[in-house]
């Protein structure tokens, strides 16, 4: 398991211990934290790689340092259970090349619950589990696809699209829990509007580098938040599937 970070010392004490206990390996890929994140991660049992800031580049560095046959990419403010890690292993053992999970937000807000439901519906319809949904992929497949594009944002969307085109994507019905901190700090409606604007402009051909200028003023220091996790994966010949009946 690999976790790219930027100033995440506040989240790691709760995040890392169960991951270190459950995963084959946990690698924190730091992008220049100033709050002691690398030192704290090492003290909690994770391996640390360091380099320049940028989610795509950080995720690729973490993946390169990992040794397990499955890569699971986890945002530093997202929690994944041992059961979910085992489900990813089973999915790959049954032939999936990659996939992701349902999402739920840590907030008790009904609006956030509605938002999570919409994300899960979109994932089922499009087959694109994103970074907040703990993407996982077989190392062999990840290397064949050339890893993440080294974009400042939307690298998770591009990975999901590439996996979807290969036709062996598994949508696991277990949920991971992600923080609603950006929605709460920047405003729910503003954050949703920013996200949809970025997606729309991306599909109209605007580059991720330009779109990052729109994202960063809204996200502030909350970006990037990813983490990469590794676990064993194996391929299968089936189109986009869900474990749900």
pLDDT digits (tens, 9 = 90+) for 144-194: 999 999 998 999 999 999 999 998 999 999 999 999 888 887 888 888 888
Tokens of 189: 């409606």
Instruction: Please give the biggest Cα pair distance in the chain.
Output: 47
Which residues does 102 contact at the CB level (< 8 Å), separation at least 6? Answer: 116, 120, 123, 133, 171, 172, 173, 174, 175, 176
The C-alpha R_g of the chain, in whole angstroms, comes to 16
| Res 66 pLDDT > 70 | yes
Q: pTM, whole model, 2 decimals?
A: 0.85
| CB within 8 Å of 143: residues ≥ 6 apart | none
Instruction: Write the DSSP string, 105-157.
Output: ESS--HHHHHHHHHHHHHHHHH----GGG-EEEEHHHHHHTTSS---SS-HHH
Taking the C-alpha atoms of residue 187 and residue 185, their distance in angstroms, rounded to an integer, is 6
Is residue 46 over pLDDT 80?
yes
Has residue 202 got a pLDDT over 90?
yes
Best CA proximity match to 152, nearest among 64, 201, 213: 213
Distance CA 106, CA 78 (A): 9
What is the pLDDT of the chain when averaged over all its residues? 88
For the residues 32-38, what does the mean pLDDT come to? 97
Q: How confident is the model at residue 216 (pLDDT cuts 50, 70, 90)?
A: low
Q: What band does 217 get if pLDDT is binned at 50, 70 and 90?
A: low
């Amino acid at each position: 398991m690999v976790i790219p970070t930027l100033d995440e010392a506040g989240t790691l004490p709760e995040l890392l211990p169960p991951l270190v206990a459950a995963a084959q390996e946990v690698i924190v890929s730091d992008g220049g934290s100033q709050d002691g994140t690398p030192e704290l991660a090492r003290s909690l049992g994770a391996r640390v790689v360091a380099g320049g800031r940028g989610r795509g580049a950080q995720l690729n560095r973490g993946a390169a340092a990992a040794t397990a046959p499955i890569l699971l990419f986890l945002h530093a403010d997202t929690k994944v259970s041992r059961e979910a890690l085992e489900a990813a292993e089973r999915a790959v053992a049954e032939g999936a090349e990659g996939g992701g999970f349902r999402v739920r937000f840590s907030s008790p807000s009904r609006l956030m619950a509605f938002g999570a439901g919409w994300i899960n519906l979109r994932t089922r319809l499009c087959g694109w589990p994103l970074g907040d949904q703990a993407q996982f992929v077989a190392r062999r497949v990840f290397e064949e696809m050339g890893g993440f594009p080294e974009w400042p944002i939307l690298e998770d969307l591009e990975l999901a699209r590439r996996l979807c085109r290969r036709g062996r994507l598994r949508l696991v019905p277990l949920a991971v829990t992600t923080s609603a901190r950006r929605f709460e700090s920047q405003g729910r409606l503003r954050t949703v509007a920013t996200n949809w604007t970025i997606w729309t402009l991306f599909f109209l051909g605007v580059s991720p580098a330009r779109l990052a200028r729109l994202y960063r003023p809204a996200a502030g220091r909350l970006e990037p938040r990813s983490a990469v996790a590794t676990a064993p994966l194996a391929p299968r010949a089936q189109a986009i599937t869900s474990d749900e009946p």
